[in-house]
Amino acid sequence: MDVLPLLSALAEPTRLAAIVILWDGGEHCVCELMERLGATQSRMSRHMGVLKTAGLVADRRDAQWVRYRRNPALADDLAAVVDAAVRAHQQKALAA
């Protein structure tokens, strides 16, 4: 996989914040992401589509909900890039 789509997906603040949430290894529904990030359903769904296209997240339908999680098939070298972005985001939040 090319690193450029991954970096482009992470460059948008709402998408990076969603990745920080999803990087805990659990599954999260769009409704939870909307609430935690202060985004509308359409905006959050659009951002999640970009993250999915970039290969960062996987999803599954659960009745009327779509649940997202970290893509378990993400290559280790690309996961390391995301790990670094998540750590940087968290450190910035702690310093604020």
Q: What is the pLDDT of residues 8-63, one digit of tens each?
A: 999 999 999 999 999 999 999 999 999 999 999 999 999 999 999 999 999 999 88
H-only helix segments in the chain: 3-10, 13-22, 30-37, 41-53, 76-95
2 phi/psi in degrees, rounded to 5 = -80, 140
pLDDT at residue 38, rounded to an integer: 96
Q: 66 pLDDT exceeds 80?
A: yes
The domains located in the chain, with CATH, are 3-95 (1.10.10.10)
pLDDT at residue 1, rounded to an integer: 63
Q: What is the pTM of this model?
A: 0.91
